[in-house]
Amino acid sequence: MESIQATKQRFGIIGNDPKLNRAVEKAIQVAPTDISVLVTGESGVGKESIPKIIHSLSHRKHGKYIAVNCGAIPEGTIDSELFGHEKGSFTGATAARSGYFEVADGGTIFLDEVGELPLPTQVRLLRVLENGEFLKVGSSAALKTDVRIVAATNVKMVEAIEKGKFREDLYYRLSTVEINLPPLRERKEDIHLLFRKFAADFAQKYKMPTIRLSEQATDLLLKYRWSGNIRQLRNVAEQISVLEQNREISYETLKHYLPDMGSNLPAIVNAKKSESDFSSEREILYKVLFDMKRDVNDLKKLTLELMKTGNAAKVKEEQSSLINKIYSDDNDAEEELASIIEEENNGTQTDVEVFSIPENASESRKDKYEYAEEIEEEENLSLQQKELELIKKSLEKYNGKRKDAADELGISERTLYRKIKQYDL
């Protein structure tokens, strides 16, 4: 059996990370067999190297090796590409054609991005894995093929199965042995090694001196997240090699080639908001509006009690829980209420005018008095009216641009459009 180090040198795999070595070791071990292998890992980690190792070390090494990117073939033609078709089976089929499974008989097929296969094609692939049979498009005659399948994906297969996008039985057929390649951020010791190799390769390719990183630049290289993995690292090395005249690369120079260098926190993948996200934001917005309505009702109730009785001490005693709820963090209001009660105890009757705005009131307290005076008017506004006002203000702010208004409101553009029609704006 070929050693791990010899295999890595043979296939140009750089790095000494234990997880990487384990992945190469598993590829060497399964190579002599015919079992199916599923290679998993993020985009750009170098998954295409594993099927090459498996094919080259197997008894099929003299047969054909065909790599197929399933995500790059249109859904309407992928069955024809994989399994072939008969003449006249569809528009444009002017002649019979052999598919990859027929051409690669006795060899190996590498199905990259297998998670992108449409469901009908998954059924056809499952039949090949189960009994080695397939049907050409437009034919009813079953053909036999002896092909080993190695698949790769950056899709989380368990989630794809739960969403009904990938067949569970096909997943278990493909992943008899699963080989996972670690992302570059988990291979810290290999990052600088890879960068130096890429820098040397590009120096030779473009016939120029090799770039070198300063100590601070090297630290930055190791701390960066590398969401694009080895592919991104190679791209950065090539850009710097071509564009920088000074071959000693500083921290500041390297920083310009690394996107999103304000944060080294985990990146958000799949940032498009789902419908459930918008639904959640709408619920939050409605909750805020309902809370405001409840607070207005509470304040109105307290105000009316004071207006009816003119007895602050009695109101405080009977509505203590409500007062605490409204003014739990407002010491000024508590002091004002205490002074009113003290006046009453001294024989001074306090009437509704105690709620007029005092001349020496602070700005914050003036706002509260004004708010109390407007309660009666605001109470007449229904939740729909408040929602309508919010929508109108947002549309006016962005000159009728629905997308910007929807973003500010925290709802989808489609929902905003529906509301515009509902309110006849």
Q: Check which CATH number belongs to the domain holding 419 and give it.
A: 1.10.10
Q: How many domains does the chain have?
A: 4
Residue written as tokens 């710097």?
240
Same structural domain, 238 and 176: no
Residue 206 has pLDDT above 60, yes or no: yes
The reply to whether 207 and 129 lie within a common domain is no
- Model confidence over 356-403: pLDDT tens digits? 445 555 555 555 545 555 544 454 456 677 778 888 888 888 888 888
Q: Is 56 inside a domain boundary?
A: yes
Claim to verify: residue 240 and residue 288 sit in the same structural domain: no
DSSP E strand stretches across 136-271: 142-144, 148-153, 177-180, 212-213, 248-249
Indicate if 174 and 282 belong to the same structural domain: no
Give the side-chain half-sphere CA count within 13 A for 73. Answer: 21
Same domain? 190 vs 170: no
For 175-200, the pLDDT digits (tens) are 999 999 999 999 999 999 999 999 99
Residue 24 lies in a domain: yes
Angle at 173 between CA 168 and CA 174, to 5 degrees: 100
Task: Note whether 177 and 212 are same-domain residues.
Answer: no
Q: Please tell me whether residues 22 and 163 are part of one structural domain.
A: yes
pLDDT digits (tens, 9 = 90+) for 283-341: 677 667 777 777 777 777 767 766 666 666 666 666 666 666 665 555 555 555 556 55
pLDDT of residue 312: 66
First to last CA, the chain: 75
Task: Mark which of 182, 201, 220 sits at the end of a domain.
Answer: 182
Going by pLDDT thresholds of 50, 70 and 90, the confidence category of residue 408 is confident
Say yes or no: 240 and 126 in one domain: no
Classify residue 262: in a domain, yes or no: no
**C-alpha closest to that of 150 among 103, 105, 107:** 107
Closest CA to 407 of 396, 419, 399, 398: 398
> What average pLDDT score do residues 135-151 get?
95
Residue 104 is part of a domain; what is its CATH number?
Answer: 3.40.50.300
Residue 268, domain member (yes or no): no
Identify the CATH number of the domain in which residue 246 sits: 1.10.8.60
C-alpha angle 159/165/171, rounded to 5°? 70
The whole-number pLDDT of residue 164 equals 95
Q: Are residues 31 and 168 in the same domain?
A: yes
Instruction: Give yes or no: residues 72 and 38 share one domain.
Output: yes
What phi, psi does 155 have (nearest 5°)?
A: -85, 145
- For residue 51, is it within any domain? yes
Q: Are 50 and 181 in contact (CB under 8 A)?
A: yes
- Tell me, what's the pLDDT at 228? 94
Which residues, listed in sequence order, are joined to residue 213 by a DSSP beta bridge? 249
Task: State which amino acid sits at residue 369.
Answer: Y
Tell me, yes or no, whether 136 and 218 share the same domain. no
User: Which residue type is seen at 185?
Assistant: R
User: pLDDT-based confidence at 227, cuts 50/70/90?
Assistant: very high
Q: How confident is the model at residue 410 (pLDDT cuts 50, 70, 90)?
A: confident
Q: Report whether pLDDT(79) > 90.
A: yes
Full domain range(s) for residue 316: 275-379
% pLDDT > 70, the chain = 75
Shared domain check, 107 and 19: yes
Tell me what pLDDT residue 98 has.
95
Question: What are the tokens at 46?
Answer: 């170098």
- What's the mean per-residue pLDDT of the chain? 83
pLDDT at residue 3 tops 60: yes
Mean pLDDT of 101-124: 96
In the DSSP assignment, the letter for residue 13 is -
Distance CA(268)–CA(20), nearest Å, equals: 25
Residue 251: the pLDDT is 96
Per-residue pLDDT, averaged over 272-282, amounts to 54
Residue 356 lies in a domain: yes
Sign of CA dihedral 143, 149, 152, 155: positive
Contact between 121 and 167 (Cβ < 8 Å): no
Contact 416, 391 (CB under 8 A): yes
Of 127, 159, 182, which residue is a domain's last?
A: 182
